[in-house]
Amino acid sequence: MRAFFAFFALIAMGCTSPQGIGYSALDVEVTHADGGSVDGFPEKSCTTLPVLIGSRVVHDYSVDGALSIHVDADRGGVGIFFWRGAAEPGAPARRYSVDELSGGVSDQLDVESATGEMYVVYLSSKCPVAQ
Amino acid sequence: MRPFRAPLVLLLFAPPAPAASIRDPGLRPDAPQANTGFQGHIATGLTFPAGRASGASGDALGARYAWQWPFELGLGAKPSEHVYVGGYFVFGLGAEGSDSRVARACVDKDNDLNNDVSCSAYSLHAGIEARWTFSPDRRTTPWLSYGAGPTLASQNIDDRPSARSETTTVTGWDFARVGLGLDLRAARAVGLGPYVGVAFGRYLHTKTEVNGVTTYDGAIDQAAWHSWISVGARIVLFP
């Protein structure tokens, strides 16, 4: 009986906290091959995976106008595509399932732009700021 | 000289006219006369999803949307005793479907008696339909209808603790909206009765919004056939 009253007292006191949904996300960061920062690359480059069936979240990031990073996420996972010029790539350079993201992803890719410049793309499931 | 024929739009505003035909001698004397001219109806009941929202794995319509509560309005005219032509508009209100991941997210996880994650769904159907009434001057008459028009379905999940609201809306066409019902003509001005109906269609376009910002807007890669199956009752003006 005491536990019963304690339980309702906790509710009355608001000791339970609201709980949202746990989201998976992928953060994209880019540097020049020598580690220098890329001008104009957005600080907020985190893609949060959607929850609903059929939902899609698509982000495009331009790197010095010579390379485009296309992030295409649905609730099952996220694909990373690199576009050099007008040609669209057929397959993603990387694809991570929602389970892989939940387990933790930290990846690094060396990518060459259309002008031959080298960049390093960092992919991480830890997002500093969710979008 | 060509005989004058009233356009359909005039029939919409014309008062119901008594049927000019000679009544069936086998009719009960108290059966209301058949109508021509304006006809309208409202209907409600239950509608159930079937088939696939898209060809993607696991994308059954019932996984996205649960059964819905439809409200239907129809306005049109009867150019003859048997034939009705008009427009329909249906709004259906419901909840999330059977997908376990979404269903789990939509359940309140704490005990503050306030659902922190709310989920909702609705659908719209609109278009033009034609209806054939088999015995328009009898007290009870079956009818059969066919319609077609654009359709829309939307699902939302609003995660207040995370300040994240996600909405996905699909649009497409109901290519065949077939109905079968029975009108009980209580009076010449009003009737009511049960109906069943199936709307066959395909969703062709999808749009996702997160916190009001569009994150995807484009064609559905693998369109698929679906149907909404309805049962209910309707009230008819000037049946």
pLDDT of residue B52: 98
In this structure, are residues B217 and B170 in contact, taking their beta carbons and an 8 Å threshold?
no
Contact B216 A17 (CB under 8 A): no
Q: Confidence band (pLDDT; 50, 70, 90) for B110? A: low
**pLDDT higher at B230 or A16:** B230
In this structure, are residues A46 and A101 in contact, taking their beta carbons and an 8 Å threshold?
no
Which of the residues in chain A have pLDDT under 50? 1, 4-16, 130-131
pLDDT of residue A67: 87
pLDDT of residue B14: 52
**Quick one: tokens of B161?**
């603790």
Has residue B62 got a pLDDT over 80?
yes
Q: Does B204 touch chain A (CB under 8 A)?
A: no
pLDDT of residue B86: 98
Report how far residue A30's alpha carbon sits from residue B83's, in angstroms, rounded to the nearest whole number.
Answer: 67
A3-17, B8-22, B209-223: least confident range = A3-17
Contact A54 B105 (CB under 8 A): no
**Burial of B127 by CB count in 10 Å (0-12 exposed, 13-18 middle, 19+ buried)?**
middle
With CA atoms as reference, report the closest residue to A41 among A26, A27, A31. Answer: A31
Q: What is the pLDDT of residues B116-132, one digit of tens each?
A: 899 999 999 999 999 99
Report how far residue B229's alpha carbon sits from residue B179's, in angstroms, rounded to the nearest whole number.
Answer: 10
Q: How many CB pairs under 8 A join A and B?
A: 89
A59-68, B68-77, B84-93, B190-199: least confident range = A59-68
Has residue B41 got a pLDDT over 90?
yes
Instruction: Say which residues have a Cβ less than 8 Å from residue B78's Cβ, sequence separation at least 6.
Output: B11, B35, B36, B37, B38, B39, B84, B85, B136, B238
pLDDT of residue A91: 72
pLDDT of residue A21: 84
* Strand, coil or helix: B102: helix
A8, A52, A74, A99: which to substitute to probe chain B, counting the most B Cβ within 10 Å?
A: A52
Report how far residue B223's alpha carbon sits from residue B151's, in angstroms, rounded to the nearest whole number.
Answer: 14
Q: Work out the minimum CA distance from B234 to partner chain A, whole angstroms.
A: 33
Report how far residue B125's alpha carbon sits from residue B170's, in angstroms, rounded to the nearest whole number.
Answer: 12
A55, A72, A127: which to substitute to probe chain B, counting the most B Cβ within 10 Å?
A: A55
Contact B116 A23 (CB under 8 A): no
Q: Which amino acid is at B61?
A: L
Q: What is the pLDDT of residues B179-200, one digit of tens each?
A: 999 999 999 999 999 999 999 9
pLDDT of residue B116: 86
Q: What is the pLDDT of residues B148-166, one digit of tens each?
A: 999 999 999 999 989 999 9
Task: Tell me how far CA of residue A120 lies from CA of A33, A95, B72, B106, in angstroms.
Answer: 6, 17, 57, 40
Provide the phi-psi class of B204: left if phi over 0, else alpha when psi is between -120 and 50, else beta: alpha
Task: Tell me how far CA of residue A56 lies from CA of A125, B139, B140, B154, in angstroms.
Answer: 18, 53, 50, 14
Contact B59 A14 (CB under 8 A): no
| Edge-to-edge strand list for the sheet holding A46-48 | A46-48, A25-32, A118-124, A106-112
Look-up of token digits 């479907």: B97
**Burial of B16 by CB count in 10 Å (0-12 exposed, 13-18 middle, 19+ buried)?**
buried
Percent of chain B whose pLDDT exceeds 90? 79
Has residue B23 got a pLDDT over 80?
no
Q: Does B105 touch chain A (CB under 8 A)?
A: yes
**Quick one: tokens of B209?**
């919004």
Instruction: Return the exposure string of B17-54: e unless at least 16 CB atoms fall within 10 Å of the residue's CB, then b.
Output: eeeeeeeeeeeeeebbbbbbbbbebebbbebbbebbbb
Question: Looking at this predicted complex, what is its ipTM?
Answer: 0.82
With CA atoms as reference, report the closest residue to B45 among B99, B106, B91. Answer: B91
Report how far residue B214's alpha carbon sits from residue B199's, in angstroms, rounded to the nearest whole number.
Answer: 29
Q: Confidence band (pLDDT; 50, 70, 90) for B106? A: confident
**pLDDT higher at B75 or A6:** B75
Report how far residue B200's alpha carbon sits from residue B76's, in angstroms, rounded to the nearest whole number.
Answer: 22
pTM of the model: 0.84
Q: pLDDT averaged over chain B?
A: 90
